[in-house]
Amino acid sequence: MLLLTFEGIDGSGKSTQARRLRQFLEEEGHDTLVVREPGGTELSERVRSLLLEPDFNVHPMAELLLFSAARAQLVAERIRPALEAGRIVICDRFYDSTTAYQGAGRGVADPAWLQDFHQRVTEGLTPDRTYLVEVDAATARARRSEDGAPNDRMEAAGDDFYERVADAYDALATSAPERIVRLDGHQPIEVLHEQVKADVVSQLADRGTPLSGTGSSDT
Question: In which element (H, E) is residue 218 found?
Answer: strand 217-218
Contact between 87 and 1 under an 8 Å Cβ cutoff? The reply is: yes
Q: Is residue 219 part of a domain?
A: no
End-to-end CA distance of the chain: 17
Q: Is residue 56 part of a domain?
A: yes
Neighbours of 155 (CB within 10 A): 18
CATH number for the domain harbouring residue 33: 3.40.50.300
Phi, psi (deg, nearest 5) at residue 108: -80, -45
Neighbours of 127 (CB within 10 A): 21
Q: Is residue 186 part of a domain?
A: yes
Q: What does the pLDDT look like over 66-94, one tens digit per residue?
A: 999 999 999 999 999 999 999 999 999 99
Q: Is residue 85 part of a domain?
A: yes
- For the four alpha carbons of 74, 76, 77 and 81, in that order, the dihedral sign comes to positive
Q: Is residue 218 part of a domain?
A: no
Provide the pLDDT confidence category of residue 215 given band limits of 50, 70 and 90: very low
More confident residue, 71 or 147: 71
Give the range of the structural domain holding residue 103, as residue numbers without chain letter: 2-209
Q: What is the mean pLDDT of the chain?
A: 93
Q: Is residue 215 part of a domain?
A: no
Length reported for the chain: 219
Considering its fold, how many domains does the chain have in total?
Answer: 1
- What's the pLDDT at 54? 86
- What's the pLDDT at 35? 98
d(CA 219, CA 36): 9
